[in-house]
Structure 1
Amino acid sequence: MKATKILRSLSAPNALFESFSTSSAPSISMAAPRSVYVERSLDEDREKNAESPTDKKYRAEKSPPSRWEFVAALGVFLSFSLGLLFIYLTMPAADYEILKLPRTLADLRLLKDHLASYARHYPAKFILGYCSTYIFMQTFMIPGTIFMSLLAGALFGVGRGLFLVVFNATAGASSCYFLSKLIGRPIVVWLWPEKLRYFQAEIARHRDKLLNYMLFLRVTPTLPNLFINLASPIVDIPFYIFFLATVIGLVPASYITVKAGLALGDLKSVKDLYDYKTLGVLFLIGSVLLFPTLLKRKASV
């Protein structure tokens, strides 16, 4: 009897352990799916926070220009500067203290009075120097080309002045296009990241009628011409479309500026060139140019 009681007392803890294990088994089996759920939610958060390859590439490009790109840009700038200096040194003698890039309308009036006789005596040399300066400024994004356009109207009249302005602006914009194609991508991404994304999306939307859309941008002040010149090769706009849009699209605004140069003495501010009436006319012309694109999009829808 004593042996039987001892065996029962020894087997009781095992039975208790087995009953505890059996009763706790369901709770363990219910806890397993919860841990899996937590792991899955963590994985989803990691996937959401992970950068896509496009974002990584964009983030890598959004950095200042490299040392090689800076040296290349500096080399091109120095080459153009030496060429411009050579042209000025070969021109007939003049009062170089007065010859400077105009920054205000007062500077422009003084320059116009000084250069009027010079342009009459040395027309070929003067036009060569004028065109070289305009293209240099347009290529390297130096402010002040609007004063050069006003000067063309004041010295040459509407006809010849308009031809000179459109020719120089197109040549300078084309030179800026190829310069940006060579070393401009990190600069544009660094300076205007959001504007570049917007421009790229709009180009993709108007790819079927790209010339019409580029004409609209050139005629209207929707985007600055400086940004268009730099960003066009980056968003894969073909050069022939860029060239045609520049030649044709710059005519209306250039005509307004050149014509204002005839009455340079009456002009009080550069802002007076583009009042609400003038802007309305430019947007009307741009809307007419953009109409075929909108019509085709409506038909496709």
Structure 2
Amino acid sequence: MAAPRSVVVEAGCWVLDRDVEKNADSPSEKKLKADRFPLSRWEFAAALGVFLVFSTGLVCIYLTMPTAEYELLKLPRTISDLRSLKDHLAIYAQLHPAKFILGYCSTYIFMQTFMIPGTIFMSLLAGALFGVVRGLFLVVFNATAGASSCYFLSKLIGRPIVNWLWPEKLRYFQAEIAKRREKLLNYMLFLRVTPTLPNLFINLASPIVDIPFHIFFFATVVGLIPASYITVRAGIALGELKSLKDLYDLKTLVLLFLIGSILLLPTILKRKRVYE
């Protein structure tokens, strides 16, 4: 006697569901999910819109510069490129200081906002062209403005990107922030001063783990000063610099961690009193 049709259909659906579940757990399916672009259509449209607004402003600024200078403007990727760019721009910076600073600041903030590598060369260039005091002010101002812009961009569309790129690092960061809520500023200063976590990750992950903007902003302004000072001073002696590895030798790293540890000391002492 044949089984009822409904039973056959249900059995077939059950087998199909099992096959779907099995395929969903397969390594190839997991890899497909991992490689899938994290942004939705609307999130991508918002990111593209912000990028186009920034790009349009940057292009408008460059159009105000003398035509002869266009061929000299390119992002340096090596120390050799940076020396050549510095030689070309030194005279232009003296003749048109306002236009140069506007173009410099716009480029730096644009790169920092959209996580474009190369801002360290911009910091070296500031030292080479403006000296320690003005160069340090320019670098800290632009780095803070770019980091703040990146913070708000991440608040808009950053969660899926950070979850996609650094899921484990984000969980670690979230746990550390939860443990240090009462002394959050000290911890953020420690992170900014030391190379414990990349600045790019801090900029993107901070709004996701609910770090208030005023703490993020103040920690960025103050915390970036030591590393920026080292970079700007290296820019003054650009001719002696062989590679970026020379910027942060063991002595420099130990000094940065020492400064960071001093900033973190109030948090450590408070936790010790609680356990006592």
Q: TM-score band (shorter)?
A: 0.7 to 0.9
- Over residues 87-144 of structure 1, what are the superposed CA-to-partner deviations in whole Å (9 max), with x where a residue is unaligned? 0101233332221000111110000000000000000010000000000000000000
- The residue aligned with 2:77 is 103
Which amino acid letter does the alignment assign opposite residue 249 of structure 2? D
What secondary structure is seen at the aligned counterpart in 2 of 1:96?
Answer: helix
Match of 1:145 among 119, 136, 141: 119
Which amino acid letter does the alignment assign opposite residue 53 of structure 2? S
- The residue aligned with 2:52 is 78
Which amino acid letter does the alignment assign opposite residue 149 of structure 2? S
1:129 aligns with 2:103: yes
1:187 aligns with 2:161: yes
- The residue aligned with 1:174 is 148
Q: How does 1:1-301 map to 2 (within 5 A)?
A: 64-301=38-275
Is the contact made by 1:63 and 1:186 (CA closer than 8 Å) also made in structure 2?
A: no
Is the contact made by 1:153 and 1:261 (CA closer than 8 Å) also made in structure 2?
A: yes
Is the contact made by 1:219 and 1:283 (CA closer than 8 Å) also made in structure 2?
A: yes
TM-score (normalised: structure 1) = 0.79
Cα RMSD, aligned residues only: 1.4
- Over residues 34-75 of structure 1, what are the superposed CA-to-partner deviations in whole Å (9 max), with x where a residue is unaligned? xxxxxxxxxxxxxxxxxxxxxxxxx9xx97111111111111
Which amino acid letter does the alignment assign opposite residue 202 of structure 2? I
- Over residues 198-245 of structure 1, what are the superposed CA-to-partner deviations in whole Å (9 max), with x where a residue is unaligned? 000000011110000000000000000000000000000000000000
* Matched-pair identity in %: 83
TM-score (normalised: structure 2) = 0.86
Misfit runs of 4+, over 3 Å: none
- Unpaired segments ≥5 residues, structure 2: 1-32
Which amino acid letter does the alignment assign opposite residue 124 of structure 2? L
- Over residues 177-211 of structure 1, what are the superposed CA-to-partner deviations in whole Å (9 max), with x where a residue is unaligned? 00000111100101100000000000001111000
- Unpaired segments ≥5 residues, structure 1: 1-58
